[in-house]
């Protein structure tokens, strides 16, 4: 497991946005940890059309903190 810091995809509202209530994503929100081999879609409007896939430790300036569960 990898520690996820504020500003990284794992804690961004756009990470796996189309299925944000999935158990794996909720677990990351609560624990601020994620598996190293995880990858999911970025739903940011500027990225969605490109079907960008990111890891929980990726990041960009479009970061928006996800609401805490
Ligand atoms: S790439 Fe940017 S907008 Fe997309 S999930 Fe990561 S931090 Fe959020």
What is the average pLDDT across 33-53? 95
pLDDT at 15: 97
Is ligand 1 within 6 A of the CB of residue 54? yes
Number of domains in the chain: 1
Arithmetic mean of pLDDT, 13-32: 95
State residue 67's pLDDT score.
85
Task: Measure 37 CA to ligand 1 centroid, in angstroms.
Answer: 17
Domain of residue 12 covers 2-54
CB of 13 sitting under 6 A from ligand 1: no
Angle subtended at Cα 7 by Cα 68 and Cα 31, rounded to the nearest 5 degrees: 45
Summarize the confidence of residues 28-52 as an average pLDDT.
95
Structural contact between residues 64 and 14, judged by C-beta atoms closer than 8 angstroms: yes
**Domain-located, residue 16:** yes
Residue 67 lies in a domain: no
> Is the distance from the beta carbon of residue 63 to the nearest atom of ligand 1 less than 6 Å?
yes
43 pocket-lining for ligand 1 (C-beta < 6 Å) = no
């Amino acid at each position: 497991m990898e520690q996820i810091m504020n500003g990284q995809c794992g804690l961004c509202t756009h990470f796996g946005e189309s299925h944000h209530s999935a158990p794996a994503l909720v677990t990351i929100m609560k624990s601020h940890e994620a598996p190293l081999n995880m990858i999911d879609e970025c739903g940011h409007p500027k990225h969605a059309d490109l079907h960008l896939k990111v890891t929980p430790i990726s990041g960009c300036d479009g970061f928006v903190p996800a609401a805490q569960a």
